[in-house]
Amino acid sequence: MAPTKVLTGARLVLPTGTVDDGRVIVEGTRIADGGPPGPEPVGGSAKAPGGTETVDLGGHWVVPGFVDLHNHGGGGASFAGGTAEDVLKGVHTHRLHGTTTVVASAVTGDLDFLARHAGMLAELAQQGEIAGIHFEGPFISPCRKGAHDEGLLRDPDPAEVRKLVDAAHGHARMMTLATELPGGLDSVRLLAEHGVIAAVGHTDATYEQTLQAVDAGATVATHLFNAMPPLGHRSPGPITALLEDERVTVELINDGTHLHPAALQLAFHHAGAGRVAFITDAMDAAGFGDGRYMLGPLEVEVADGVARLVEGGSIAGSTLTLDRAFKRAVTVDGLPVEDVVRAISVNPARLLGLDDRIGSLEPGKDADLVVLDAGFDLVGVMRRGEWVVRPQLG
């Protein structure tokens, strides 16, 4: 029998609500049980060879492991241009901050480079280290390019979109497109047919054009508000379309830099907690520090945790980790913990089609969980039944 871990005394955020003084039983890589304290687990301490580890988490929260749909790196390493070793370093850095599932985001690059890079990332996805690949660019709008190399941007030609999807060997999870460009809607349809999320972003689309993209099959807004026209009363733009359409989940970067707190509240109120996904959009400096970095082919200066292009000064990703996004959402934004869990674990897991395995604390699912103290600081991380960060309890 697999070794058993019993976590006791914690406040558990379950799909059915929050349970005080709850207990999670982990057997091997999976959750065997979670809920109020009950009878001794079958095959409990006395019988389990290899022993049972009991951890008293009184006064702490246990929430599902975080799922990041949009992330370019961390720990000084890049998902957008690094080697496999670099990618693993970045993945580990984000695991230390509670992200037990991460999609690796590429940035705009030469198509042949992106195809080769996708092949390498696909191997890591095959090994279960990342949950797949997100292509952010090159099929985005020069008007809203953000920190992407303008010289390498292209209209979304479905044949080229297909080339990248094929290069990912079944591990392409999402592509961000400016769907108003020539070939945009056909590309959205192609992605939807291949089971790849079409995300509207880095776009200059109107309200009407954005609704067409959703009708064609787009289901995600790439960092809503950022890199798209603002909401105007006579030109409501993509923001209004993406917030109001029930088929769309909106990504939000809750780092206090990318969004005004009131914009975050507006998104939550309008879309509801079921249609919001917290992402980091992190670059290499996340979990590492200030300094000079590369984001794809472009140079970035990180100062006081804010990443900007050296040339032009555009915000160039974030240095956010999802544990900070969680804490901020509760302690600064005042969101209910249950809503934050939906935005940071449940919804992204569902979007990735992985909600049968991850995203909530339920029997049979992977034992991916995060332990937070009463102030919402991270004190423990478990991934597939193994401690990545073992709680150091007094």
Which CB, 99 or 360, lies closer to Zn ion? 99
Report whether 296 contacts 108 (CB < 8 A). Answer: yes
Which CB, 52 or 347, lies closer to Zn ion? 347
Which residues have a Cβ under 8 Å from the Cβ of 105 and sit 6 or more positions away? 70, 71, 72, 79, 80, 133, 134, 135, 136, 281
Closest approach of Zn ion to the CB of residue 301, in Å:
17
DSSP 131: S
Which CB, 4 or 93, lies closer to Zn ion? 93
Report whether 171 contacts 132 (CB < 8 A). Answer: yes
Task: Give the interface size with Zn ion as a residue count (CB under 5 A).
Answer: 2
Closest approach of Zn ion to the CB of residue 70, in Å:
5
Which CB, 57 or 279, lies closer to Zn ion? 279
What number of other Cβ atoms are within 10 A of residue 18's Cβ? 15
Say whether 373 is catalytic: no
Report whether 284 contacts 278 (CB < 8 A). Answer: no
Closest approach of Zn ion to the CB of residue 106, in Å:
9
Identify the burial level of 394 via C-beta atoms within 10 angstroms of its C-beta, where 0-12 means exposed, 13-18 middle and 19 or more buried: exposed
Strand, coil or helix: what is 256?
A: coil
Chain residue whose CB lies nearest Zn ion = 281
Closest approach of Zn ion to the CB of residue 312, in Å:
17
Closest approach of Zn ion to the CB of residue 46, in Å:
51
Which CB, 72 or 324, lies closer to Zn ion? 72
DSSP 139: S
The reply on whether position 136 binds Zn ion by CB under 5 A is: yes
Binding positions for Zn ion, 266-295, rule CB under 5 A: 281
The reply on whether position 366 binds Zn ion by CB under 5 A is: no
Tokens found for residue 61: 């929260």
Closest approach of Zn ion to the CB of residue 317, in Å:
6
Instruction: Give the C-alpha separation, 317 to 301, whole Å.
Output: 11
Report whether 70 contacts 103 (CB < 8 A). Answer: yes
Binding positions for Zn ion, 75-134, rule CB under 5 A: none
Report whether 282 contacts 320 (CB < 8 A). Answer: yes
The reply on whether position 255 binds Zn ion by CB under 5 A is: no
Binding positions for Zn ion, 169-198, rule CB under 5 A: none
**Residue length of the chain:** 394
Annotated active-site residue in 255, 281, 339, 366: 281
Report whether 26 contacts 71 (CB < 8 A). Answer: no
Which CB, 60 or 324, lies closer to Zn ion? 324
Q: Kindly tell me the sign of the dihedral angle through the C-alpha atoms of 320, 323, 326, 330.
A: negative
| HEC secondary structure over 36-85 | CCCCCCCCCCCCCCCCEEEEECCCCEEEECEEEEEECEECCEECCCCCHH
Which CB, 281 or 284, lies closer to Zn ion? 281
Closest approach of Zn ion to the CB of residue 80, in Å:
9
Residues marked as catalytic? 281
Residues that bind Zn ion (CB under 5 A): 136, 281
